[in-house]
């Protein structure tokens, strides 16, 4: 991952969680789905296996679990 700068969300989330834990910050990898796509005609959301995603949550004593998405190009 560091050499090729390529990978999947699971790779980036796992690497970030490991780095945070190495620094003493409690961290966990969370998995779920993005919002999918909205069809304006049917007024329905479609979520499929392609919308699966992994991100990191880090614990900060005054704020609790804060989510971070280390996957390049994911935006907010």
Q: Cα(52)–Cα(35) distance, rounded to whole angstroms? A: 9
- Asked about 69 being catalytic, the answer comes back as yes
- Asked about 9 being catalytic, the answer comes back as yes
Which of 11, 43, 49, 53 is the catalytic position? 53
55 CB burial (10 A radius; 0-12, 13-18, 19+): buried
Both tokens of 72, joined, read 């390049």
User: Active-site residue numbers?
Assistant: 9, 53, 69
């Amino acid at each position: 991952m560091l050499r090729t700068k390529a990978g999947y969300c699971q790779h980036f989330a796992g690497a970030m969680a490991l780095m945070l834990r190495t620094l003493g910050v409690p961290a966990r990898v969370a998995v779920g789905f993005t919002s999918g796509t909205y069809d304006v005609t049917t007024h329905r959301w479609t979520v499929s296996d392609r919308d699966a995603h992994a991100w990191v949550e880090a614990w900060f004593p005054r704020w609790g679990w804060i989510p971070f998405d280390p996957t390049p190009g994911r935006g907010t």
